[in-house]
């Protein structure tokens, strides 16, 4: 074989997945730096070999060591057989199929996607593509009550958010409520069932969805089932709801049962392999959808629960409530949970880490940042990417503005912190998925990790950062005005490592928008390739400035500035 290149594909999600009726997206990783072109040849898997039809693949961009190429092939029969032809400008080529690489087409073999089953095509709620979410920590938001949250619905509506996610509201002896005592009762400190119903009703009248936090990985040690185990020991009917190592159950000085994290005595781990425990929690989840009318669940520590429980959970809840949004809390790569049989999306902490590096710490440049974006997007299918909570902070992290003040280049990092946060928010609101705002970020709240990131919301306007607040409102409004920002594809446009500037495109059909970010203290004039030919003049939607759109597209970008060209 005259050439050996790195190539990778598997005929399974996220390398092959349905994107519509008879439509199959294929994703191929190829060695970067080789200027390789890729073509997929495909046919019905029962057609005679050699009858495959060629289709050029689109190079999406580089994720570092590998480039990503994609194509959508159509099959009326829902069955497909395909292989790849990869070549370089010198005329060298390889065939790549299930048997590996070969200069001989037959020896490469073919990939098989046997049948596009409807159940494999993950269907996310129709409203999620248009969502901008706002996370509330109830104890710290407004008076620490559901009524207090309801009273601030006009504020949330004016901000422009279309969904709120609240951390647990169920009865618990703690302030954070992650050690549940009663899954069927609103904690009295927050209110009661009627208060939750009123909150949901008021939110819905304003076009705002409501997502609650559920903790099915562990309960509280005051949960009735665990209390029974403490009292009855091995005779308890609920002993198999937990992971008890010996009897009697000991909470100190050493635990003899499994818990959340390390030796959290008040958080005994639940055994979702036990059918009675699983039945109980699924009934809980249905109860609050049915009785309170909530629109989704965020599932805590979802990666430590048996996936078979989540498959059943999704199947049973979606069969009754197909528009319910299911978000898993997984703080690492969450692909195995986002294949269509468990969650719609996840909390995208990996994206947050990339944003921290580029905007807050400025420890990486635009090339690395763009490579990270493409790598993360390639971990998931399109539907999962559309439903990811794209966050820059949460109740478990330090505030992003604090991170910006602690990091960044130069001696005056604090003076540029707000500008760099504004760039991060600009990116968040113009990227794919569901932007998620952590309460208070929009008015410049600061704080290190828990508990400092959970301080009470600042409501006095004179103590709020109104510049940042107005920036959020402007960007959310523009996102809602332009369909391409909510549903369009993401593609790299350019990266300028020396200037610390990057650009990317959002596209939907013929509609295109160019986004530019200058993460440096210098102003620059850039000469860029033309990204749309149907307009003689482009407008920056942020400032109203117009730019002549010709073969020499020249733009001016201010220090720590950004452009939204349309």
Inter-CA distances, 183 with 179, 214, 294, 431, Å: 10, 9, 15, 36
Residue 539 tokens, joined: 């407008």
Look at the block and give the residue holding tokens 């020991």: 233
Nearest of 321, 320, 317 to residue 342 by alpha carbon: 317
* Cβ atoms 303, 269 nearer than 8 A: no
Question: Beta strands 296-299 and 325-328: pairing type?
Answer: parallel
Q: Which residues are catalytically annotated?
A: 300, 329
Gap between the Cα atoms of 446 and 451, Å rounded? 12
Gap between the Cα atoms of 330 and 344, Å rounded? 13
* Cβ atoms 435, 429 nearer than 8 A: yes
Helices (runs of H) and strands (runs of E) counted in the chain: 15, 29
Residue 125 tokens, joined: 């709620």
In 22-148 the beta strands, taken as DSSP E runs, fall at 23-31, 37-43, 53-56, 58-62, 66-74, 80-87, 93-97, 100-102, 111-113, 133-136
The DSSP output letter for 496 is: E
Gap between the Cα atoms of 231 and 548, Å rounded? 77
Supply φ then ψ for residue 524, to 5 degrees: -140, 150
Nearest of 41, 43, 42, 11 to residue 27 by alpha carbon: 11
Gap between the Cα atoms of 471 and 473, Å rounded? 5
């Amino acid at each position: 074989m005259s050439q050996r290149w790195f190539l990778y594909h598997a005929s399974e999600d996220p390398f092959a997945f349905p994107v519509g009726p008879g439509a199959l997206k294929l994703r191929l990783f190829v060695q970067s730096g080789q200027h390789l072109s890729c073509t997929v040849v495909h046919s019905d898997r029962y057609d005679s070999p050699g009858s495959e039809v060629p289709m050029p693949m689109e190079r999406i961009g580089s994720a570092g060591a590998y480039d990503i190429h994609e194509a959508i092939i159509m099959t009326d029969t829902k069955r497909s057989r395909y292989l790849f032809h990869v070549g370089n400008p010198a005329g060298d080529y390889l065939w790549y199929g299930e048997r590996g690489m070969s200069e001989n087409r037959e020896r490469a073999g073919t990939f098989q996607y046997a049948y596009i089953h409807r159940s494999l095509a993950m269907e996310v709620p129709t409203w999620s593509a248009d969502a901008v979410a706002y996370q509330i920590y109830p104890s710290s938001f407004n008076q620490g009550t559901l009524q207090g949250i309801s009273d601030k619905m006009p504020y949330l509506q004016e901000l422009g958010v279309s969904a709120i996610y609240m951390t647990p509201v169920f009865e618990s002896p703690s302030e954070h409520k992650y050690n549940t005592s009663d899954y069927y009762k609103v904690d009295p400190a927050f209110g009661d069932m009627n208060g939750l119903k009123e909150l949901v009703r008021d939110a819905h009248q304003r076009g705002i969805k409501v997502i609650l936090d559920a903790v099915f990985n562990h309960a509280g040690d005051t949960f009735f089932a665990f209390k029974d185990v403490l009292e009855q020991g091995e005779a308890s009917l609920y002993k198999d709801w937990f992971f008890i190592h010996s009897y009697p159950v000991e909470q100190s000085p050493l635990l003899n049962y499994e818990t959340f994290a390390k030796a959290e005595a008040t958080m005994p781990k639940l055994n979702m392999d036990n059918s009675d425990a699983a039945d109980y929690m699924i009934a809980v989840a249905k109860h609050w959808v049915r009785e309170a009318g909530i629109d989704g669940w965020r599932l805590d520590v979802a990666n430590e629960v048996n996936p078979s429980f989540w498959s059943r959970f999704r199947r049973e809840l979606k069969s009754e409530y197909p528009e319910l949004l299911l978000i898993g809390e997984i703080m690492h790569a969450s692909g195995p949970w986002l294949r269509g049989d468990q969650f719609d999306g996840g909390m995208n902490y990996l994206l947050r880490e990339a944003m921290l590096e580029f905007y807050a710490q400025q420890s990486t440049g635009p090339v690395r940042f763009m490579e990270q974006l493409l790598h993360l997007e390639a971990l998931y299918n399109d539907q999962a990417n559309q439903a990811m909570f794209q966050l820059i902070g949460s109740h478990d992290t330090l505030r992003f503005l604090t991170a910006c003040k602690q990091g960044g280049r130069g001696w005056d990092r604090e003076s540029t912190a707000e500008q760099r946060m504004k760039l991060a928010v600009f990116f968040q609101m113009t990227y794919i998925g569901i932007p998620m705002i952590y309460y208070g970020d929009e008015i410049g709240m600061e704080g290190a990790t828990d508990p400092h990131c959970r301080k009470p919301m600042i409501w006095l306007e004179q103590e709020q950062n109104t510049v940042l607040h107005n920036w959020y409102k402007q960007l959310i409004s523009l996102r809602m005005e332009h369909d391409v920002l909510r549903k369009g594809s993401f593609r790299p446009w350019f990266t300028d490592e020396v200037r610390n500037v990057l650009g990317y495109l959002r596209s939907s059909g013929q509609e295109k928008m160019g986004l530019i970010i200058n993460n440096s203290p210098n102003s620059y004039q850039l000469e860029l390739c033309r990204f749309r030919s149907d307009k003689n003049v482009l407008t920056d939607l942020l400032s109203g400035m117009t730019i002549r759109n010709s073969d020499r597209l020249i733009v001016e970008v201010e220090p720590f500035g950004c452009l939204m060209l349309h």
